[in-house]
Amino acid sequence: MNLGCIGSINQFFKPVALLKSVFTLNDLAQSKRLAMVLRIAKGTRIAKGSCLAEGSRLAEAKRRSNKTASFFLVLFMSNIFASASSAEQLNVGVSISTSAQRETFYTLARDFERQHPGVTVRFTTLSSEEYKRSFPSMISQESSLDVLYWHSGQRLFDYVDAGLVLSIDDVWAQQGLLTAFDQSVKDTVVRDGQFYGVPISYYQIGFYYSKNIFNRLSLAEPSSWQDFMAVCEAIKQAGYPPIFIGTKSNWPATAWFDYLNLRINGLEFHQQLTSGQIPFTDERVAAVLNAWLEPIEKGYFITEHNELLWREGLPFLFRDLVGMSMIGNYVIQDIQQTVVPRLGFFPFPILDERVQAFEEAPIDVLIIAKQTSNVSLAKQFLAFSARHEVQSKLNKSLGVLSPNKFAQQDTSPLTKEAYYVLSNAAGVSHFFDRDASEAFANGVMPVLDKFMLEPDVDSTLLELEKIRQATFQLTEG
């Protein structure tokens, strides 16, 4: 197979404007890195001259892109300064990692401004991981931000308990939101009977697979764990890595642990585990790691996955270099529509028919910093973002789902499949680092990453249990 140079993957992604995307190559250095990515996929080395030429081409493209970005940045800043003297300003912090996200949130702001003449929405934007690291200072007493994007569940409650988030019971009551969101969604923003956020988006995690590989091997979407293992074996025998995972990112391995635990032990057990109520030495947790051991020991995961980021799995799927990858349906936002039909979707397989089908569905929310002096305008912005027609437009652009149940889920066929799975789920969790405290998650997740490389069940359980004991002794003491 002639793979060409990795730079050509750009044809599969939407153009990046005003944003340094993870797919924007940093001249030759990034070109070499992505060449390494393809080498891992097929054990193939790409000709040096080919990538040098591609690196030069991409460097020139980047210079042109930077020039365009500079023009629009100057134009944007000019508009801000021109209206600053007369407009009321709302400062909003948002996590943005793709051009689609940037375009979507700026459209949200412009729509709000049109309905509120004399108001300017000004964003402070950071990439996902940088945003998480910076969030404590962004919501602090010294911050100038009024509204912030964040995660529901325990990650939100940590800051509520610290007295840094404003209660918005009046927004929920006055806007009739109590009937617009399911109880499972409302529970993720309620602390001690009060509302502290407005859910704006959520997504489902499942398997996206190469239809070409599945069709070539006459494979059907697996529904049981046994069928899933058989599919992986067939793909491996055909010479492809069955499963892409990028454990250089800090969440993919934990997502596997979450789903296996949900499928084996159920939602209540999972919630008790993430809250530190159950020891990791419990035999039911051992069952989770032992199930995970099977695809690891059989070599179904791509090699050198610890050198790969989760996003680097997308071109593997497009080029039919890997069978499948477990990711969120938010990936749709950066895929060209002509590529989407090449991918199929199926939910995480069932391991025990006696356990109901629970799913992972992290929910993103908007909250108001308690220190803001701009409370009225901030509440208007949250009320606007909660409206079903606003969420329909927002999440269609993002390629994810709307938590407002009256919103139209008018998205791609793949996203509709994910919505159907969630609609029929017996319950949802929100990912380990949203269900657990930050300190607990930060200790547990690297150990699960290590398990993918050093799959020793007994030592891993002991290490996890030490983290649980240390975390909750510090919390309680």
Cα separation, 264 vs 397, whole angstroms:
35
Strand partners, 94: 125
Measured at the CA of 203, the angle between CA 320 and CA 185, to 5 degrees, comes to 165
Q: Is the pLDDT of residue 391 over 90?
A: yes
Cα separation, 205 vs 208, whole angstroms:
9
Evaluate whether 447 touches 464 at the Cβ level (below 8 Å).
Answer: yes
93 vs 2: which has the higher pLDDT? 93
Least confident of 57-66, 134-143, 253-262, 348-357: 57-66
**Banded model confidence at residue 341, pLDDT cuts 50, 70, 90:** confident
The correct CATH number of 205-360+437-476 out of 3.40.50.300, 3.40.190.10, 1.20.1050.10, 3.90.180.10 is 3.40.190.10
**Banded model confidence at residue 59, pLDDT cuts 50, 70, 90:** very low
Q: Parse the chain into domains and list their residue ranges.
A: 6-71, 87-202+363-416, 205-360+437-476
pLDDT of 75 reads 41
**Banded model confidence at residue 328, pLDDT cuts 50, 70, 90:** confident
Structure tokens at 232: 């992986």
Least confident of 68-72, 262-266, 443-447: 68-72
pLDDT of 6 reads 34
pLDDT of 417 reads 82
Radius of gyration of the chain (CA): 23
Cα distance between the two ends of the chain: 60
**Run of H or E including 198:** strand 198-202
pLDDT of 182 reads 86
Q: Is the pLDDT of residue 4 over 60?
A: no
CA-closest candidate to residue 16, choices 311, 355, 278, 346? 311
Per DSSP, 240 falls in state: S
Cα separation, 83 vs 77, whole angstroms:
10
**Banded model confidence at residue 152, pLDDT cuts 50, 70, 90:** very high
Q: Is the pLDDT of residue 378 over 80?
A: yes
Cα separation, 55 vs 73, whole angstroms:
26
Structure tokens at 55: 């690196």
235 vs 408: which has the higher pLDDT? 235
Least confident of 179-188, 325-334, 349-358: 325-334
Domains 87-202+363-416 and 205-360+437-476 belong to one CATH topology: yes
Longest Cα–Cα distance of the chain, Å, equals 67
Give the length of the chain. Answer: 477
477 vs 329: which has the higher pLDDT? 329
Q: Tokens 């790691």 identify what position?
A: 289
**Banded model confidence at residue 29, pLDDT cuts 50, 70, 90:** very low
Least confident of 121-125, 332-336, 389-393, 434-438: 332-336
Provide mean pLDDT across the span 52-61: 45
Least confident of 35-39, 45-49, 93-97, 248-252: 45-49
244 vs 81: which has the higher pLDDT? 244
Evaluate whether 415 touches 401 at the Cβ level (below 8 Å).
Answer: yes
pLDDT of 359 reads 92
**Run of H or E including 324:** strand 324-328
pLDDT of 332 reads 67
**Banded model confidence at residue 339, pLDDT cuts 50, 70, 90:** confident
pLDDT digit string (tens) for 176-232? 999 999 888 898 999 999 999 999 999 888 999 999 999 999 999 999 999 999 999
Superfamily (CATH H level) for 87-202+363-416:
Periplasmic binding protein-like II (3.40.190.10)
Cα separation, 143 vs 338, whole angstroms:
43
Can you say whether the dihedral through the CA atoms of 28, 29, 32, 38 is positive or negative? negative
CA-closest candidate to residue 232, choices 304, 297, 319, 289? 297
Q: Is the pLDDT of residue 55 over 50?
A: no
Provide mean pLDDT across the span 354-381: 95
Least confident of 26-30, 173-177, 369-373: 26-30
Least confident of 290-299, 376-385, 396-405, 412-421: 412-421
pLDDT of 63 reads 52
Cα separation, 201 vs 263, whole angstroms:
24
pLDDT digit string (tens) for 84-113? 445 699 999 999 877 778 899 999 999 999
pLDDT of 84 reads 44
User: Percent of the chain having pLDDT more than 90?
Assistant: 58
